[in-house]
């Protein structure tokens, strides 16, 4: 292979990879110097002259002329006799420049040079890719999905391979080979072998921010700013915005007419629910807005703790809204505000509660302080937490948590038992009162009956002789019943009456016949 042919092939490869002329010259020179070092052990006495435009290249071996039999380093020195064979005018001390042909290196060395050149081109290409994508970090790119792996998907963008790990995907997304994917470049690093690693994401809050910039002109122009975004990708997100123009409502600008702007973002994110709230520097007001759609009635901050905590009281029917499904609403609100939020339901005046300090005789002061640190100032506030939640928030051991819950539950159990006893007493007293009431009602009735029977007794005593002893009401009743019974016994039956009437008729007939005979 001629020198010009090899250089021309190198130039062609460089043009395909978009390598500039100066870089190509440096690469070719490095490649041939590596060949020289491999053959001669050093490249100090060699000079490479390259003209990439015309494909010309020369390798000159420069040596110093020394006397015969005085050569110490054949790479840097040449005998006078040998130098005069090149040119008769050379003398001791002169420098001889001898051109080296590629064929002198051998075919294997030339093939190695070509492989080395290709490797250098790939390395430069990798460096250019890393530099170019580092400038695009945080920007949205659109690429074609060409491979789906178990833990990641690969996307091609401008002949570069972009990777989207599973944790950077929205769990509702379903892609197939050939789909166009829109994502944000999250980071650019290098693999262990030097290959660029470009990570893209659809789950990062920055992706949602860039989508809002595309859909909301006010954000792109700087009139409305997104202060903070917190997400649970594919499920729910909260966006805090602020307006620098009093005439612009930041929430309305992000939502758009009939939700036209925000719906575009929601569709791109797999129907992820997005809550847009207005940012404020007041932490109490910000916590109230972050917990929407719930409307807290009271917020108490404790900035002495790390992280700071907030006790939020909401109405009973809004507790579930404040917490959200699986606690997602309160988690996002905590991340948005920077406060660890504890939600408590509003206790009505009818419900009895006990201050946590009342248990000081059974619970150590250190544990009571831990409870107060998380906003549990009352017994019912502690009972609303499970054992595991109590351990997580306070950091206390399992035995202490169980002891606290046991003591408080026992206190409320005693109160309920006392209430039941009182209720039983009330019921018992009610039964006694009812018995007394019935007795009092029966007494006037008996008196009324006695008064009704009194005149009858007086009449009976008036008809009988005065010497006759007075009989009790019961005996009089018996006497009254006795004549009735006798009358009943003497009363003839219907058959007897019929026979009597027949006998009388016969008697009358006999008498009539006797009179007629006379």
Q: Which helix (H) or strand (E) holds 325?
A: none
Q: Identify the residue whose tokens are 């009431």.
A: 437
Contact 185, 193 (CB under 8 A): no
Cα-based distances in Å from 267 to 211, 219, 274: 11, 19, 11
Q: What is the dihedral of CA 119, 122, 127, 131, to 10 degrees?
A: 180
Report d(CA 382, CA 400) in Å as an integer: 13
What superfamily in CATH does domain 136-201 come from?
Nucleic acid-binding proteins (2.40.50.140)
Question: 224 falls in which pLDDT band (50, 70, 90)?
Answer: very high
Contact 313, 283 (CB under 8 A): no
Facing residues of 144 across strands? 156, 180
Report d(CA 364, CA 370) in Å as an integer: 10
Cα-based distances in Å from 268 to 141, 176, 187, 214: 14, 16, 21, 12
pTM surpassing 0.85?
no
User: What letter does residue 143 receive in the DSSP assignment?
Assistant: E
User: What letter does residue 464 receive in the DSSP assignment?
Assistant: S
Among the listed residues 126, 202, 211, the one whose alpha carbon sits nearest the alpha carbon of residue 164: 202
Mean pLDDT for the stretch of residues 459-464: 38
Mean pLDDT for the stretch of residues 469-476: 40
Tell me, what's the pLDDT at 509?
52
CA of residue 506 relative to chain centroid, distance: 119
Among the listed residues 118, 81, 75, 117, the one whose alpha carbon sits nearest the alpha carbon of residue 100: 75
Q: 16 CB contacts (<8 Å, ≥6 apart)?
A: none
296 exposure class (CB count in 10 Å sphere: 0-12, 13-18, 19+): buried
Give 236-254 pLDDT, tens digit per residue: 999 999 999 999 999 999 9
Q: Angle at Cα 354 formed by Cα 351 and Cα 355, nearest 5°? A: 135
For 405-423, b/e burial (b = at least 16 CB within 10 A) is: beebeeeeeeeeeeeeeee
Whether residue 450 has pLDDT greater than 50: no
Give 303-324 pLDDT, tens digit per residue: 988 889 999 999 888 888 999 9
Say which residue, 380 or 449, is predicted with more confidence: 380
Mean pLDDT for the stretch of residues 395-424: 72
Give 15-48 pLDDT, tens digit per residue: 777 777 778 778 888 888 888 888 888 888 888 8
Give 148-188 pLDDT, tens digit per residue: 998 999 999 988 999 999 999 998 888 889 999 999 999 99
CA of residue 432 relative to chain centroid, distance: 60
Report d(CA 289, CA 229) in Å as an integer: 14
CA of residue 159 relative to chain centroid, distance: 37
For 341, list phi and psi in degrees, rounded to 5.
Answer: -95, 130
Whether residue 203 has pLDDT greater than 90: yes
Tell me, what's the pLDDT at 511?
57
Cα-based distances in Å from 44 to 31, 36, 62, 73: 15, 10, 9, 12
* Domain spans of the chain, in order of start: 3-128, 136-201, 206-279
Report d(CA 197, CA 188) in Å as an integer: 6
282: helix, strand or coil: coil
Query: Count of residues for the chain?
Result: 518
Question: 505 falls in which pLDDT band (50, 70, 90)?
Answer: low
Q: Which fold has domain 3-128?
A: N Utilization Substance Protein A; Chain:P; domain 4 (3.30.1480)
CA of residue 397 relative to chain centroid, distance: 27
In order, the DSSP letters of 388-421 are HHHHHHH---HHHHHHHHHHHHHHHHHHHHHHHH
Whether residue 6 has pLDDT greater than 70: no
Question: 459 falls in which pLDDT band (50, 70, 90)?
Answer: very low
Contact 148, 177 (CB under 8 A): yes
Q: Which CATH number fits the domain 206-279, given the four candidates 3.40.50.720, 3.30.930.10, 3.30.540.10, 3.30.300.20?
A: 3.30.300.20
Q: Angle at Cα 452 formed by Cα 447 and Cα 455, nearest 5°? A: 125
How big is the chain by its Cα radius of gyration, in Å? 56
């Amino acid at each position: 292979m001629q020198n010009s042919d090899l250089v021309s092939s190198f130039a062609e490869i460089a043009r395909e990879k978009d390598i500039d002329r100066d870089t190509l010259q440096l690469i070719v020179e490095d490649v041939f110097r590596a060949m020289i070092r491999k053959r001669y052990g050093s490249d100090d006495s060699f000079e490479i002259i390259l003209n990439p435009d015309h494909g010309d290249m020369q390798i000159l071996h420069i040596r110093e002329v020394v006397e015969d039999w005085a050569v110490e380093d054949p790479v840097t020195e040449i005998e006078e006799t040998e130098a005069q064979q090149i040119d008769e005018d050379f003398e001791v001390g002169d420098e001889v420049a001898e051109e080296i042909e590629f064929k002198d290196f051998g075919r294997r060395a030339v093939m190695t040079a070509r492989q080395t050149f290709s490797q250098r081109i790939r390395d430069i290409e990798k460096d250019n890719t890393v530099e170019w994508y580092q400038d695009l970090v945080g920007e949205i790119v659109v690429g074609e999905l060409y491979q789906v792996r178990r833990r990641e998907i690969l996307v091609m963008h401008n002949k570069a391979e972009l990777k989207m790990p599973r944790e950077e995907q929205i769990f509702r997304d379903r892609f197939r080979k050939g789909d166009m994917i829109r994502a944000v470049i999250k980071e650019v690093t290098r693999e262990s072998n030097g290959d660029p690693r470009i990570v893209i994401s659809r789950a990062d809050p920055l992706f949602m921010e860039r989508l809002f910039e595309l859909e909301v002109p006010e954000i792109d122009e700087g009139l409305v700013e997104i202060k903070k975004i917190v997400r649970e990708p594919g499920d729910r997100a909260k966006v805090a915005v602020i307006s620098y123009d009093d005439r612009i409502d930041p929430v309305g600008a992000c939502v758009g007419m009939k939700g036209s702007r925000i719906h575009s973002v929601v569709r791109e994110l797999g129907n992820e629910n997005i809550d847009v709230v207005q940012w404020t520097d007041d932490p109490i007001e910000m916590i109230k807005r972050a917990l929407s759609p719930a409307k807290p009635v009271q917020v108490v901050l404790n900035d002495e703790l790390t992280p700071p905590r907030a006790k939020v009281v909401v109405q009973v029917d809004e507790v579930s809204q404040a917490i959200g499904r699986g606690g997602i609403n309160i988690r996002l609100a905590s991340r948005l505000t920077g406060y660890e939020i504890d939600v408590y339901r509003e206790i009505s005046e009818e419900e009895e509660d006990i201050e946590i300090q009342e248990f000081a005789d059974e619970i150590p002061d250190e544990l009571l302080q831990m409870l107060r640190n998380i906003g549990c100032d009352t017994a019912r506030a502690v009972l609303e937490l499970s054992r595991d939640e109590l351990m997580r928030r306070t950091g206390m051991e399992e035995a202490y948590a169980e002891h606290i819950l046991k003591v408080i539950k026992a206190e409320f159990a005693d109160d309920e038992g006392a209430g039941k006893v009182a209720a039983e007493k009330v019921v018992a007293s009610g039964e006694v009162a009812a018995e007394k009431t019935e007795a009092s009602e029966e007494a006037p009735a008996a008196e009324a009956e006695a008064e009704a029977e009194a005149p009858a007794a007086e009449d009976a005593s008036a008809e009988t002789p005065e010497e006759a002893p007075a009989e009790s009401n019961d005996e009089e009743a018996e006497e009254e019943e006795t004549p009735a019974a006798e009358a009943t016994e003497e009363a003839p039956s219907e058959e007897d009456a019929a026979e009597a009437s027949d006998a009388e008729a016969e008697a009358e007939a006999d008498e009539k016949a006797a009179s007629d005979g006379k």
